[in-house]
Amino acid sequence: MSRLHSAAALAALSCFFSASPSALAKPPAITSIFPPGGQRGSDFELTAADAPDPWPSAAWTSHPGIRLEPLKDRKGVYNANVAADTPLGPHLVRFYNADGASQPRIFFVGLAGETAEAEPNDKLDAAQFLENTPVVVNGRLDKTGDVDAFAFRANKGDWIVAQCHAYSLDSPVDAFLHLHDEHGSKVAFAPDTQNLDPLLAWQAKRTGTHTLTFAGLVFPFNASARFHGSPHTVYRMTISTGPFARNTYPLGVARGVKTPVHLVGWGFERQQAAQAAMVDAAPVGDTAWVGANGLAAPVPVLLGHLPGHRETEPNDSTETALTIAWPSAVHGRIGEADDEDRFGIVATKGDRLRLRLRASEFNSALDPVLRVEDATGKQLARDDDSGERQDAKLDWTAPADGTYHLAVSDLIRSGGSAHFYRLEIDRVTPSLNATFTPDRLVVEAGKSVEATVTISFTDGFKGNPAVVVRGLPDGVSAQIPATEKGGAVKIKLVADDSAKPANVPLTLLVVEPGTTVNHTATVPIGMDKAGGERLINAIDHLWLTVKAKPEPQKGNKK
């Protein structure tokens, strides 16, 4: 996640509310924001629903390049400014007052110009016409049975690409897209392409006006068969008739190192656009988003600790396999039917390897199969579904010193340009993981509250980790018990009688004993994850609201 604002700045904003705390009844409860994102370098109005009460209510964002200022005379409306150097991709927004904070909402920073959906546009002959592409349409399926239609021009040979973010923004909808030609005939359809959100790509057969229709069913599903809509069913849809990046090659880079990547997708062969980008792999988070001049939307790049290699052909046999150093990550593609890629590794008896073949989580067409073979070609291990989605994962121990081969293929022996993958070859090392709950707390001066940090040990980790709380405001302290055995650790946050009102994000760190290695505890956010990943699925801060001690009521006796 992007870096947090300073605690001092947030504490200063508490002047919004401190004048009359008795008039405030509850923290904001924001179910959606509209628009749910904006273009870099733009200013616009953003509406929070349901509108915070009382008004005005302050807003915090996870990156200082995104600023939201409440309009005092328009309840629920903020002036939004996205600085030109704000990192692309998803960020977080919280709304808060003297009584607490809302749950975080996702706000996406994009590349293309933006427009708002304009009703009525629920029929092909009433479609909203888009003068220019690429464009990001911010819309809402606002009622049951709603369908939104958008028309635009495309030339013969253009790649029409429509990418929707709805479920991935926490909207309760399983959406789909239909593309119609100038005669109204359906020529393409996209259902669940990336989690429950659709991604449509189709090459225009002739020049003319084309129309996209967008609709969806409620998620989680119920007995209703009608198209879903509600005031909170918001979406962002990028529509492009030019170059559009689907992914990067390689799919991931080493964290903390500036690395060039190649952008892969549709339409580059017809129009000029930069296909090279530089990933500035910041030391936080596990994903960076990159874009380039002339592109419609940014794409995610995985950040990790492994150095990278690129596949070189031919490598479909033990004789042609490239022997690579490990730990490392290899990026490749099963380019045609019946293709196999092989990589040689040298291992010592007893080496414990963790092998991950990642493809479907990047929306690759590959249904990956991973095999470990000895020097004679004998299969020693195989997996095709133990990782994320349909990806492969193996923990394997070398039975003897020697060279072994890792074979990558597709389950049904298909191949093509969209069959890309990332093969990670790492050691099994002891580690720990830390989560916490809840994601926000409210404490009154003179009182205390508790959060639970749960520490789990994996792969034989041993030691006595320590929990550290960073970002506490003045007058608040943390009481932390010993953590020798891991498990659930109760953290008590104590506010002195003199503690002043504040709203701040706290970081909970778990430090490995005798080292400077620390792990930031996280907490899952969003609705039920049965439909797949959101753009942000966990946050790394605990929001703390400190309330002033209430004034004694007149007439009360001590």
How long a stretch of residues is the chain?
558
pLDDT reading at 339 higher than 50? yes
Q: Are 135 and 112 in contact (CB under 8 A)?
A: yes
Q: Are 2 and 63 in contact (CB under 8 A)?
A: yes
Each residue's pLDDT tens digit, 175-186: 999 999 999 999
Q: What is the DSSP letter of 2?
A: P
98/501 Cα distance (integer angstroms): 7
354/305 Cα distance (integer angstroms): 14
What are the backbone angles phi and psi of residue 15, rounded to the nearest 5°?
A: -65, -15
Each residue's pLDDT tens digit, 232-267: 999 999 999 999 999 999 999 988 888 899 999 999
In the chain, what percentage of residues exceed pLDDT 70? 92
Looking at per-residue pLDDT, the higher value among 11 and 139 belongs to 139
**Class of domain 7-110 as given by CATH:** mainly beta
**Class of domain 308-427 as given by CATH:** mainly beta
pLDDT reading at 273 higher than 90? no
pLDDT given for residue 526 in this prediction = 66
Each residue's pLDDT tens digit, 89-115: 999 999 999 999 999 999 999 999 999
Return the closest-CA partner of residue 198 out of 214, 176, 217: 176
pLDDT given for residue 384 in this prediction = 92
Residue 7 DSSP SS3:
helix
pLDDT range class, residue 557, cuts 50, 70, 90: low
| Cα 122–Cα 128–Cα 131 angle in degrees, nearest 5 | 165
Range list for CATH 2.20.130.20 in the chain: 431-547
Burial (CB < 10 A; 0-12, 13-18, 19+), residue 516, is exposed
Each residue's pLDDT tens digit, 348-406: 999 999 999 999 888 899 999 999 999 999 999 999 989 887 899 999 999 999 999 99
In the chain, what percentage of residues exceed pLDDT 90? 72
Task: Count CB atoms within 10 A of the CB of residue 309.
Answer: 19
Look-up of token digits 């040990």: 457
Q: What is the pTM of this model?
A: 0.91
pLDDT reading at 10 higher than 70? no
How far, CA to CA in Å, does 144 sit from each of 117, 139, 166, 177, 298?
A: 17, 15, 16, 17, 32
Cis peptide before 54 (omega within 30 of 0): yes
Residue 396 DSSP SS3:
strand
Q: What is the DSSP string of 439-504?
A: SEEEEETT-EEEEEEEEEEETT--S--EEEEE-PPTTEEEE----TT-EEEEEEEEE-TTPPPEEE
Structure tokens at 374: 């000895």
Residue 151 DSSP SS3:
strand
148/214 Cα distance (integer angstroms): 5
Range list for CATH 2.60.120.380 in the chain: 119-240, 308-427
What Rg value do the Cα atoms of the chain yield, rounded?
Answer: 26
CATH of domain 119-240: 2.60.120.380
pLDDT reading at 558 higher than 60? no
Burial (CB < 10 A; 0-12, 13-18, 19+), residue 358, is buried
Q: Which amino acid is at 77?
A: V
pLDDT given for residue 388 in this prediction = 81
Range list for CATH 2.60.40.10 in the chain: 7-110
Q: Are 506 and 473 in contact (CB under 8 A)?
A: no
> What sign has the CA pseudo-torsion 317, 252, 89, 134?
negative
Pick the CATH number of 431-547 from 3.40.50.1370, 2.20.130.20, 1.10.238.10, 3.30.450.20: 2.20.130.20
Return the closest-CA partner of residue 369 out of 336, 330, 339: 339
Residue 338 DSSP SS3:
coil
Q: Are 373 and 316 in contact (CB under 8 A)?
A: no
pLDDT given for residue 551 in this prediction = 79
Mean pLDDT lowest among 9-13, 180-184, 233-237, 436-440: 9-13
How far, CA to CA in Å, does 159 sit from each of 135, 203, 213, 239, 240?
A: 14, 4, 17, 10, 8
Q: Which residues make beta-bridge pairs with 506? A: 542
What are the backbone angles phi and psi of residue 325, rounded to the nearest 5°?
A: -75, 150
Q: Which residues make beta-bridge pairs with 289? A: 300
137/148 Cα distance (integer angstroms): 11
